[in-house]
Amino acid sequence: MESRKEGYRGSGKQKMVKIVFVIGGPGSGKGTQCKRIAQQFGYTHLSVGELLRQEINSGSETGSMIQKIMKEGKLVPSDVTVRLLQQAMRGMDSDKFLIDGFPRNEENVKTFENLTKMDPEFVLYLDCPQDEMERRLLTRNEGREDDNIETIRKRFKVFMESTLPAVQYYESKGKVKKVDAGKPVDEVFESIKVIFSQRKDDKVRPNRHNHTCLIL
Ligand SMILES: Nc1ncnc2c1ncn2[C@@H]1O[C@H](COP(=O)(O)OP(=O)(O)OP(=O)(O)O)[C@@H](O)[C@H]1O
Ligand SMILES: Nc1ccn([C@@H]2O[C@H](COP(=O)(O)O)[C@@H](O)[C@H]2O)c(=O)n1
Ligand SMILES: [Mg+2]
């Protein structure tokens, strides 16, 4: 499978896009760092957790199913997650996506590969000690239903048992860029900047109007 600017098929359209997955434990700082990366390097940030929360807020039947799963700290079936992600990507006029909180398990990986025929450019892994992640989540104060100690512990278990094998899968393909995410926000971003700055396409913040984007 090719890893750069790939054909993205859906609804009869095909556009060339580049994707970077951002993985890390709950509270490792994925959302915080993705906002900065998007701003500095011109990526479109898509948080999969946020897409799932939007589906819950839509009041749909799928949303109620997602809400129950999230409260338990478990993972939503991959076909649901990947379809929401595909829909969001189709709706964006962008060719560089930063996908935050995906994949969370090997089923996510396989479903994404099967439905989109795409492979990430690379996977940014935010590695953070569990006690630091717990402290951050318990002081986040964003009113998330899953930010309580009982659900947080379940989310850590899912991360260890299901998400780390997905990280290992990409490690075996030489695609993982790991950063120490236990440091202060600015220091973590400094390490991330080194990774993105080394990549030819990302060195200069792209001007959207000059950016190559093939839509057939
Ligand atoms: N490096 C850091 N040092 C201290 N606090 C941080 C750091 N990075 C993020 N935070 C804070 O920790 C909390 C969790 O961060 P964030 O929401 O970015 O994590 P996340 O990985 O997206 O978590 P989740 O998987 O639950 O969505 C937020 O309150 C954020 O402000
Ligand atoms: N690939 C994914 C991503 C998320 N979920 C569910 O959403 C919850 C919140 O995700 P955050 O990234 O915002 O922490 C997560 O605990 C899962 O319940 C998922 O199922 N699959
Ligand atoms: Mg997040």
By mean pLDDT, which of 103-107, 140-144, 160-164, 210-214 is the weakest? Answer: 210-214
* 74 annotated ligand binder: yes
> What are 179-187's contacts with CB under 8 Å, separation 24+?
179/124, 179/125, 179/126, 179/127, 180/127, 180/128, 181/24, 181/28, 181/29, 181/33, 181/126, 181/127, 181/128, 182/127, 182/128, 182/129, 182/132, 185/29, 185/32, 185/33
73 alpha carbon to ligand 2 midpoint, in Å?
A: 8
The finding on whether 31 has its CB within 6 A of some atom of ligand 1 is yes
* 103 annotated ligand binder: yes
The finding on whether 99 has its CB within 6 A of some atom of ligand 2 is no
CA-proximal residue: ligand 1, atom 15 (nearest): 29
pLDDT of residue 202: 76
Say if residue 189's pLDDT is above 60. Answer: yes
Q: Which amino acid is at 154?
A: K
* 75 annotated ligand binder: yes
Residue 81, Cα to own-chain centre: how many angstroms? 11
210 alpha carbon to ligand 3 midpoint, in Å?
A: 31
Token couple for 172: 């075996």
Measured from the Cβ of residue 96, the count of other Cβ atoms closer than 10 Å reads 20
Identify whether the C-beta of residue 71 lies closer than 8 Å to the C-beta of residue 145: yes
Each residue of 53-77: pLDDT tens digit? Answer: 999 999 999 999 999 999 999 999 9
The finding on whether 48 has its CB within 6 A of some atom of ligand 2 is yes
What are the φ and ψ backbone dihedral angles of 125, each rounded to 5 degrees? Answer: -110, 115
CA-proximal residue: ligand 2, atom 19 (nearest): 75
215 alpha carbon to ligand 2 midpoint, in Å?
A: 30
Complex-level ipTM beyond the 0.90 threshold: yes
Say if residue 160's pLDDT is above 50. Answer: yes
* 22 annotated ligand binder: no
| Residue 162 to residue 21: CA distance in whole angstroms | 16
**Which superfamily does CATH assign the domain made up of 18-192 to?**
P-loop containing nucleotide triphosphate hydrolases (3.40.50.300)
Q: Which amino acid is at 42?
A: G
If one residue of 28, 30, 32 were mutated to test the ligand 1 pocket, choosing by the most ligand atoms within 8 A of its CB, it would be 32
Each residue of 82-134: pLDDT tens digit? Answer: 999 999 999 999 999 999 999 999 999 999 999 999 999 999 999 999 999 99
> SS3 for 179?
strand
49 alpha carbon to ligand 3 midpoint, in Å?
A: 7
Identify whether the C-beta of residue 20 lies closer than 8 Å to the C-beta of residue 98: yes
pLDDT of residue 113: 97
Instruction: Give strand ranges (E) for the chain.
Output: 6-10, 13-24, 44-47, 96-100, 122-127, 176-180
pLDDT of residue 200: 76
Cis peptide before 103 (omega within 30 of 0): yes
Say if residue 9's pLDDT is above 90. Answer: no
CA distances from 154 to 49, 62, 68 (A): 16, 22, 14
CA-proximal residue: ligand 2, atom 7 (nearest): 49
The finding on whether 184 has its CB within 6 A of some atom of ligand 1 is yes
Each residue of 23-53: pLDDT tens digit? Answer: 999 999 999 999 999 999 999 999 999 999 9
pLDDT band at 201 (very low <50, low <70, confident <90, very high): confident
Residue 95 DSSP one-character state: S
